[in-house]
């Protein structure tokens, strides 16, 4: 395993993954760099299902190890929405953070609880797969705060539990320690370290 393709066209996610997996003897490239322009339809009803679908899509087309994640924000007062639809529930061209704040305009602070959930999946060239899940509890702010990383709009409105700053106000290093994606990929990193120690290179 000398290369892993991260099945995403989201540069913000790629930056996060490279930071979390830094130091491993594996090259991390995104789907576009691997020649994959298209993306599968994310039509599964779980984060795990979508992550596996994306990673399998790239692994099958490249013959390489592939990793994907699916993540979203689940807001209690909205019955868990937007959940797996976090990237598209507001409609085309609509600012997701602003849309979410508008949907919660009259919700008091003690009912603005939410959590970020992420599932990371890794798929081998032969189709074997493993999944890792991370979760971060917190709440939704009542205004946009900070500047989000590319294509990570909810960072401007999510304040992790026990903190007063949004994800968008934190450095990448701070966020990776606390974030759902950071926790899922930390488990993935531990699995990769064990795999690379005990397995011969592909």
CATH code for position 59: 3.90.950.10
Active site residue 70: yes
Is the pLDDT at 11 greater than 90? The verdict is no
112: confidence class by pLDDT, cuts 50, 70, 90: very high
pTM summary value:
0.82
Least confident stretch, 7-21, 68-82, 114-128, 140-154: 7-21
User: Which one is catalytic: 30, 69, 70, 155?
Assistant: 70
Is the pLDDT at 201 greater than 60? The verdict is no
In the prediction, which pLDDT does 15 show?
Answer: 84
Residues 132-156 have a mean pLDDT of 90
**CA 77 vs CA 73, 103, 111, 139: distances in Å:** 12, 10, 7, 11
Is the pLDDT at 160 greater than 70? The verdict is yes
Domain count within the chain: 1
Is the pLDDT at 76 greater than 60? The verdict is yes
In the prediction, which pLDDT does 50 show?
Answer: 95
DSSP-derived secondary structure for the chain: --EEEE----HHHHHHHHHHTTTSS-EEEETTTTT---------SSHHHHHHHHHHHHHHHHSSEEEEEEEEEEEGGGTT-BGGGTTTTT-TT--HHHHHHHHTTT--GGG-EEEEEEEEEEE-TTS-EEEEEEEEEEEE-SS--S-PPTT-GGGGTEEETT-SS-GGGS-HHHHHHHSHHHHHHHHHHHHHHHHHHHS---
Question: Which residue segment(s) compose the domain that 68 sits in?
Answer: 3-198
The label of the residue with tokens 């290179």 reads: 201
Relative to beta strand 3-6, strand 65-75 is parallel
């Amino acid at each position: 395993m000398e290369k892993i393709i991260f099945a995403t066209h989201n540069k913000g996610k790629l930056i996060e993954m490279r930071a979390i997996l830094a130091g491993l003897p594996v090259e991390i490239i995104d789907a576009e760099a691997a020649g994959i322009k298209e993306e599968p339809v994310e039509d599964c009803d779980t984060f795990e299902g979508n992550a596996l679908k994306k990673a399998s899509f790239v692994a099958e087309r490249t013959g390489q190890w592939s990793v994907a994640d699916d993540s979203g924000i689940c807001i209690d007062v909205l019955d868990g929405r937007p959940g797996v639809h976090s990237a598209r529930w507001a409609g085309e061209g609509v600012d997701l953070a602003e849309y979410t704040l508008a949907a919660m305009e009259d919700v008091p602070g003690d009912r603005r609880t939410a959590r970020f959930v992420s599932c990371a999946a890794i798929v081998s060239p032969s189709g074997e797969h493993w999944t890792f899940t991370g979760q971060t509890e917190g709440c939704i702010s009542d205004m946009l705060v900070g500047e989000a990383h590319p294509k990570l709009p909810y960072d401007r409105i999510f304040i992790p539990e026990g903190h007063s700053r949004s994800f968008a106000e934190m450095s990448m290093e701070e966020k990776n320690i606390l974030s759902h994606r950071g926790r899922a990929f930390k488990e993935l990193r531990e699995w990769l370290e064990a795999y690379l120690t005990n397995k011969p290179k592909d």
